[in-house]
Amino acid sequence: MSQVAAIMMDVAGNHGAVHRFGGEEFAIVMLGTDQKEARSLAERLRGGIDRAPITYLGRPLGTVTVSIGVASTQDGQPSTNLMQRQASLLRAKAGGRNVVITDWATGDAERRAV
């Protein structure tokens, strides 16, 4: 888990802050980021984890994949609204592995399996 978190922090860089909000769930909060930038970061994150030699107790785990939901909120909306949108993206986990799903504040949803 710490290796995945390190990859997240590296990919997020100055673009956002990484937070853990569940057992195996993390969030990167990015202010003022458009949909294209957010999706690009999510794809870099997904690919970085997919290619990383992740180990547990010194033993290689093989390929580790992630399901990523990208969501937004509009100015003036409470932050709880974003968390509700993010909760709806749990379908990324149910819909398969190694996917990025976007759900932008405009209501547009897009699924891209990778």
CB 66 within 8 A of CB 46: yes
Which position among 24, 25, 37, 110 bears the catalytic label? 24
- The pair of structure tokens assigned to 74 is 């509009």
Q: Is-catalytic flag, 24?
A: yes
Largest Cα span, the chain: 47
Q: Which two tokens stand for residue 104?
A: 């932008």
- Residue 45: phi, psi to the nearest 5? -65, -50
CB-CB contact of 27 with 86 (8 Å): yes
Catalytic residues: 24
